[in-house]
Amino acid sequence: MTCVVIVGTQWGDEGKGKLVDFLTEGADLVARYQGGNNAGHTVKFEDQSFILHLIPSGILRNKMSVIGNGTVVDPEALLQEFEGLQTVDISVEKYLKISETAHLIMPYHRVFDKLREQAQGDNKIGTTGRGIGPAYTDKVARSGIRFTDLKNPAHLRNRLETLIPEKNCLMKYFFQSPVQFSVDQIVEEYRGYYEQFKSFLCDSSLLINQAIDNNQNVLFEGAQGTFLDVDHGTYPFVTSSNTMAGGVCAGCGVGPSKIDKVIGIVKAYTTRVGSGPFPTELLDDMGGFLRKEGSEFGATTGRPRRCGWFDAVLVRQAVRLNGLTSLAITKLDVLDKLETIKMAVGYQSADGKTHTELPPIYEEGMTPIYEEHSGWQCPTKDITEYDDLPKALIDYLNRMSELVGAPVSIISVGPKREETIVSDPDQIWA
């Protein structure tokens, strides 16, 4: 039995969908522990490309897939995902379970997400507009609605009758919007969802712990990335959940002593969507090259991603914050054509001071201190053995590993399942 956590080490979009899909082959159960349909996990198989937003990518391999209590679920979006899976003949009835205590994204959450962003003008976070922040806000304020609250119509009505007047007051007087939410309408809509989802609901902590007790291999699928974590990310330009490995314990009801391995997914360069600090961002042609070669457009919103060089300072912090046991490096093939490749090893502030950690409040004008490496300038897509990788690529990986303080266990040279090299199998399933 092994419990493996997969986390993004940068700002999300590191290629977790592909890696989770690859690692799922050895798993018996795959669980999501945070986030919602703000995520977009792209999986390519049999010449098909599939994007999952909420359902764990494990379902594409017909493995038991669990949406844990720490997620926020938009029922409408989930039904759309069900439809998508039907087209590839995957049975959600057989393979999907949802925590009965997962919080729901309500119609007012989506509206507030957009209105709050508009109200912030230039200071906006650049959210996905899916209602994630407002849903987590209500959860922490103890004003959330969970799947279990949908069971009894009188209980649901009672909760909403307390909550909706406050939401409507905000709409009318703060946002000056004519839109008002109706308790009757929401009760009807969400009771309908309950009927559609009731057979999927379960005590997900019990289910996952039983799998662990039965010596099954469990994979926890992180969404977003370490630097979008609400506690340790580039606040306030973060998402509203704990994206880091520690989030598994609260978000799935699993004790820390059960976790064996934590694999950090590392893009061979860096990208970010939305606003916020990005020390190695490239606003020149090189940024454009990475965006084009790497097809760096958001899987959820289609927004062009900001692109930059690999930042070893950031990933070293991710190794510490997540207790990473190894790294999976993705999108190395995007760098195939480059003569030289840069890697940030520190930053220098305007007063000449050197920083070896990303400060909690990023100072404008900090410039990265780069190391320059020779590129390998040959295609890597069809390479299947570690020993066949070009020497310059292995040197780049070794330096990355040395700087961040964790070994490399997996190397991804393309989007498909088979374009993956495992350099250290002991670091994955025991």
Which stretches of the chain bind ligand IMP, using CB under 6 A?
A: 11-13, 38-40, 125-128, 130, 132-133, 223-224, 228, 237, 239-240, 273-274
Active-site hit among 21, 28, 41, 229? 41
Q: Give the integer Cα–Cα distance in Å for 60 and 232.
A: 31
**Burial degree of 141 (CB within 10 A; 0-12, 13-18, 19+):** exposed
**Residue closer to ligand IMP (CB basis): 130 or 267:** 130
The set of residues, in sequence order, having a beta carbon less than 8 Å from that of 36 and lying 6+ positions away, is: 53, 54, 71, 72, 73, 74, 77, 105, 130, 131, 132, 135
13 has catalytic annotation: yes
CB of 187 to ligand IMP, least distance (A): 27
CB distance 92 to 82 below 8 Å: yes
Query: In whole angstroms, how close is the CB of 190 to ligand IMP at the nearest point?
Result: 21
Cβ proximity to ligand IMP: between 37 and 401 the closer is 37
Residue 333 designated active-site: no
Query: Whole-number minimum distance, CB 117 to ligand IMP, in Å?
Result: 9
Q: How far is the CB of 198 from ligand IMP (least distance, A)?
A: 28
Q: How far is Cα of residue 121 from the mean position of the Cα atoms in its chain?
A: 26
From the CB of 275, what's the least distance to ligand IMP, in Å?
6
Angle between helices 75-87 and 183-197 (to 10 degrees): 40
CB of 130 to ligand IMP, least distance (A): 5
Nearest C-alpha neighbor of 408 from the set 399, 220, 416: 399
Task: Report the alpha-carbon distance of residue 67 to residue 100 in Å, rounded.
Answer: 10
CB of 141 to ligand IMP, least distance (A): 16
Q: Residue 13 or residue 74: which is nearer to ligand IMP going by CB?
A: 13
Rounded-to-integer distance, Cα 194 and Cα 50, Å: 27
Task: Choose between 204 and 300: whose C-beta lies nearer to ligand IMP.
Answer: 300
Q: Which residues pair with 43 in a beta bridge?
A: 50
Task: Return the number of the residue (12 or 294) whose C-beta is nearest ligand IMP.
Answer: 12
Amino acid letter, residue 301: T
- Give the single-character DSSP code of 305: P
- Calculate the alpha carbon distances from 218 to 3, 32, 47 in Å: 5, 11, 27
Tokens encoding 298: 């958001």
Nearer to ligand IMP, 217 or 239 (CB): 239
Calculate Rg over the CA atoms of the chain. Answer: 22
Nearer to ligand IMP by C-beta: 13 or 21?
Answer: 13
277 vs 349: CA distance, rounded Å: 14
Tokens of 376: 């390998």
- Is the separation of the CB atoms in 354 and 348 below 8 Å? yes
Phi and psi at 200, nearest 5°, equal -95, -15
Minimum separation from the CB atom of position 128 to ligand IMP (A): 3
Residue whose C-beta lies closest to ligand IMP: 274
Among 274, 191, 185, 193, smallest CA distance to 237 is for 274
Name the residue nearer to ligand IMP (CB basis): 308 or 346: 308
CA torsion angle 178 182 186 189 (round to 10): -80
Options 13, 113, 138, 149, the catalytic residue: 13
| Angle between the N-to-C axes of helices 107-120 and 132-140, in degrees from 0 to 180, rounded to the nearest 10 | 110
What are the catalytic residues?
13, 41
